[in-house]
Amino acid sequence: MPQPKHDLASLFNAASDLAGRTFAELAAQQGLRVPNDLRRDKGWVGQLLEGALGASAGSQALQDFPDLGVELKTIPLDANGKPLETTFVCTTPLIDIAGLNWESSNVRNKLQCVLWIPIDGRREIPLHQRTVGTAFLWQPSAAEEAQLRADWQEHMDKIALGQVEQITAHQGEVLQLRPKAANSRVLTDAIGPHGELIQTLPRGFYLKTQFTGQIIRTVFNI
DNA sequence: TCGTGATCATTC
DNA sequence: GAATGATCACGA
């Protein structure tokens, strides 16, 4: 285990030092074995980096480094530096949402300061050979936050109106709503069309790849 | 069961 | 090829 990070600079330095390291190296340091692929270990790389940097929040609904107000996100890139996957932000509240607003939302809290760590997502490269990229800190610009806020508000309005089952991943410019569950049979409470309680699939907020791709391009001057 | 870490795999 | 809806693992 690394030293707990007490300030942003040492966290960022530690993350920067991971650039170029292979997943095999980082796994060995933590006594982990590298799976052959990610089919049954989808979160493995994310947890590998959490371990390497001493993230503490576990599965709580908190930022990864609550003391620093920093969220850690790995983002898999292809050979051209484009994101291969959307980025999960947090689960979506579906009930007791009357008083929620953007300022106090979990989405805003998580995205206020993100330590992005690009990783090699190319499936044709054996997992143990893939490497960590150059970490960077990001805070949404005013324009980016406005986009996030507008999408969040639109989704939450539909949920409040009992229209959660009408929301598809096509909606939202930068922030989409998609299932987030063990499988499609999982159910949770939500508001129905007439204000009653219904059972529906749990949802999560995800950043679209176009949005994260733009962040990557800006940071690396591509 | 929920929230965390996400990617898979089929469809578009 | 990109994107959506489905899925996998684990800890509390």
Strand order in the sheet with A175-179: A87-91, A203-207, A175-179
Residue nearest to nucleotide C11 (CA to C1'): A59
pLDDT reading at A222 higher than 80: no
Which nucleotide shows the minimum CA-to-C1' distance to residue A38?
B7
**Any idea where the domains of chain A sit in the sequence?**
8-220
Q: Which two tokens stand for residue A88?
A: 């999960």
pLDDT recorded at residue A61: 85
pLDDT recorded at residue A1: 55
- The rounded Cα A30 to chain-centroid distance in angstroms is 23
Q: pLDDT by residue (tens digit) across A70-114?
A: 999 999 999 999 999 999 999 999 999 998 999 999 999 999 999
What number of CA atoms fall less than 13 Å from residue A177's CA on the CB side? 23
| pTM score over 0.95 | yes
pLDDT recorded at residue A59: 80
Q: Which two tokens stand for residue A184?
A: 């499609």
Q: Which two tokens stand for residue A168?
A: 């598809």
**Residues at the strand B interface (Cβ < 7 Å):** A 37-39, 41-43, 45-47, 49-50, 57-62, 64, 71-74, 76, 84-86, 88, 90-91, 93, 106, 119, 121, 123, 180, 182, 186-189, 202, 204
Kindly indicate the confidence band of residue A19, based on its pLDDT and cuts at 50, 70 and 90: very high
Q: For the domain with range A8-220, which CATH number is right: 3.40.50.300, 3.40.50.620, 3.30.70.1520, 3.40.600.10? A: 3.40.600.10
pLDDT recorded at residue A3: 67
When mean pLDDT is compared across A4-13, A43-52, A87-96, A206-215, the lowest value belongs to A4-13
Between the CA of A49 and the C1' of C11, what is the distance in angstroms? 18
Which nucleotide shows the minimum CA-to-C1' distance to residue A206?
B6
pLDDT recorded at residue A57: 73
* A154 in contact with nucleic chain C (CB within 7 A): no
Between residue 101 and residue 140 of chain A, the positions with Cβ below 7 Å from nucleic chain C are none
pLDDT recorded at residue A2: 67
